[in-house]
């Protein structure tokens, strides 16, 4: 690694602000681009790797390749350089957390949340594969979740550098749990190797268990080579069979039996998602007709604009995300859609989405999962209008339910989708306005909390954290500042406990409420809150008590 000593202050045109983390390849810093006046992440390669001339040249080639991958689902590489023997790469600075962290704490993701994540990973990989670039080390730690739901694949090129070093030493390259059998055998990694890794990530995201896990690296590699993972539906029976088939095919031992690239994987995923939306979750994947020729589910210009906002506008995290502010980035150009030869695909897509709402709210177009976009209003066939209006109303209902559940960020996204379909929908406009106001309030509170903490004002920081807990308990600033405000936060935790106890009494007054699962969840959360409070973790305790209060109130409402 880079020798320890005084913290680096400057490298190239970048002024170092602070250290973000350290990994096998080197160290990552937050830095300020003094020319363009923006924050970036700087990855400095370890001195051991940098001392090898062949590796340095290879890293430079890979950095150039990564810089060509201008796509909303791939981290942007801005610059590469070498100074005083240190090799560095300047990249987009991201907010949020990686997928590994979300899986580790079993983030409460819905099925369509998970499908959106996998779909976005596949889209980014498909773009890389179309440029003949293979990741080689796809894993949850290399998938970043932004606060607005957008996904970024990281470490393109760096994985190749690691692979080069391992290959030279006669070792296997990659991360054992996600390596394909051919990588374990020391063979060249290709697009199908990325597909295998994507299948492993998909399996783990659906089940919160690694498909190949053991106590030692040797045992893990043996399982990758010789054993099939436990059937996905044994682990998680609620996963539709058609989705399990996509996962199983992606993880086939024989590379020829897998999807041949990420684009093929994504096409199958979309067919499976549409089958689930139509109530055919038990369909056999080969029975589902492939989509017409052309680019798979291209992003619309509107989605491109949404992606641009992802990096610059999302300052706080949702239930699955936490981390640092994002640096501004430019909008990646949208890829053109294939010319339509029939009006039927659009009608079918709209009908499928409406059926999805009717069977339980599963909407395959949610959170960035690209569905066939409606044409511009000037060319839209008149007979489609009623269907489009119905789809917009369904989206508004989803937005309203998310707002009632306290998930204002998801309500905002759902309202935006409704307005893309029907810009005149007044209900969607109202929900969007309220959700944006709440988001602004939360973002201001998060900023105030951080500023107060940095200034040593624990009381003001605690007050801002209390606001965050009531508006967005999973906000990144809460966990970030909890250790600094715990000592002064106990009175608020006790206040939250009193509110929880009052809500519990109200629910217990209705006998039917105590038999509901939501009441039992509240009781569990209350016990966890007591344990956190006893351990001196006042912020965590307050969060548990507030969540328990909500469960008790929900149980009481349901029992009326």
* CA–CA separation, 367 and 370 (whole Å): 9
Neighbours of 261 (CB within 10 A): 21
Neighbours of 346 (CB within 10 A): 19
| Three-state DSSP class for residue 443 | helix
| Three-state DSSP class for residue 122 | helix
Matching residue, tokens 């807990």: 469
C-alpha pair distances (Å), 88 with each of 81, 160, 180:
5, 15, 29
Among 98, 112, 137, 443, the one annotated catalytic: 137
Joined tokens for residue 232? 């996905």
Report the candidate in 451, 453, 442 with the shortest Cα–Cα distance to residue 476. 442
Q: How close are the terminal C-alpha atoms of the chain, in Å?
A: 63
Joined tokens for residue 379? 């060319």
What is the DSSP pairing of strand 38-45 with strand 14-22?
A: unpaired
| Three-state DSSP class for residue 531 | helix
What is the DSSP pairing of strand 14-22 with strand 10-11?
A: antiparallel
* CA–CA separation, 368 and 44 (whole Å): 32
Matching residue, tokens 């990530």: 201
Widest distance between CA atoms in the chain? 74
Joined tokens for residue 264? 């093929």
* CA–CA separation, 387 and 346 (whole Å): 10
Strand arrangement of the beta sheet that strand 97-98 belongs to: 97-98, 143-145, 151-153
Residue 407 a catalytic site member = no
Helix (H) or strand (E) holding 528: helix 517-534
**Which residues carry out catalysis?**
137
């Amino acid at each position: 690694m880079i020798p320890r000593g005084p913290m680096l202050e400057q490298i190239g045109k970048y002024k170092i602000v602070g250290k973000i983390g350290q990994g096998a390849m080197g160290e990552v810093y937050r830095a300020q681009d003094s020319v363009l006046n923006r924050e970036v992440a700087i990855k400095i390669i370890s001195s051991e790797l940098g001392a090898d001339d062949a590796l340095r040249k290879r890293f430079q080639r890979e950095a150039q390749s990564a810089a060509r991958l201008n796509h909303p689902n791939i981290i942007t590489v801005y610059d590469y350089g070498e100074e005083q023997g240190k090799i560095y790469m300047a990249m987009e600075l991201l907010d949020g957390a990686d997928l590994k962290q979300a899986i580790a704490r079993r983030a409460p993701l819905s099925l369509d949340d998970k499908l959106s994540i996998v779909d976005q990973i596949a889209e980014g990989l498909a773009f890389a594969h179309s440029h003949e670039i293979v990741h080689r080390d796809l894993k949850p730690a290399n998938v970043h979740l932004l606060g607005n739901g957008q996904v970024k694949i990281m470490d393109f090129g760096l994985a190749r550098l690691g692979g080069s070093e391992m290959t030279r030493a006669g070792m296997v390259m990659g991360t054992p749990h996600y390596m394909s059998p051919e990588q374990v055998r020391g063979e060249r990694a290709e697009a199908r190797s990325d597909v295998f890794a994507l299948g492993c990530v998909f399996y783990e995201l659906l089940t919160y268990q690694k498909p190949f896990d053991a106590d030692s690296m040797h045992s893990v590699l043996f399982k990758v080579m010789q054993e099939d993972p436990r059937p996905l539906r044994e682990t998680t029976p609620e996963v539709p069979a058609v989705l399990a088939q996509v996962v199983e095919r992606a993880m086939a031992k024989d590379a020829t039996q897998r999807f041949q690239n990420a684009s093929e994987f994504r096409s199958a995923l979309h067919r499976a998602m549409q089958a689930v939306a139509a109530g055919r979750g038990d369909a056999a994947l080969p029975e589902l007709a492939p989509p017409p020729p052309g680019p798979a589910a291209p992003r619309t210009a509107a989605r491109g604009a949404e992606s641009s906002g992802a990096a610059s506008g999302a300052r706080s995290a949702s239930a699955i995300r936490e981390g640092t502010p994002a640096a501004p980035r430019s909008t990646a150009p949208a890829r053109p859609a294939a010319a339509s030869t029939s009006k039927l695909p659009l009608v079918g897509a709209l009908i499928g989405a409406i059926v999805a709402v009717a069977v339980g709210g599963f909407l395959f177009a949610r959170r960035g999962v690209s569905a066939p976009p409606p044409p511009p209003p000037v060319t839209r066939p008149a007979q489609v209008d009623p269907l489009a209006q119905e789809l917009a109303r369904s989206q508004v209902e989803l937005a309203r339910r998310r707002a009632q559940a306290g998930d204002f960020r998801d309500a905002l996204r759902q309202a935006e989708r409704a307005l893309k379909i029907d810009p005149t929908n007044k209900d969607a406009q109202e929900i969007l306005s309220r959700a944006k106001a709440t988001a602004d309030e939360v973002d201001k509170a998060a900023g105030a909390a951080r500023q107060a903490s940095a200034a040593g004002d624990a009381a003001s920081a605690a007050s801002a954290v209390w606001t965050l807990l009531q508006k967005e308990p999973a906000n990144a600033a809460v966990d970030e500042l909890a250790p600094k405000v715990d000592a002064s936060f106990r009175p608020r935790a006790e206040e939250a406990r009193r509110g929880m106890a009052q809500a519990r009494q109200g629910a217990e007054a209705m006998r039917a409420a105590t038999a509901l699962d939501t009441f039992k969840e509240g009781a569990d959360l209350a016990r966890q809150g007591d344990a956190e409070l006893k351990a001196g973790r006042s912020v965590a305790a307050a969060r548990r008590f507030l969540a328990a209060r909500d469960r008790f109130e929900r149980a009481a409402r349901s029992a009326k």
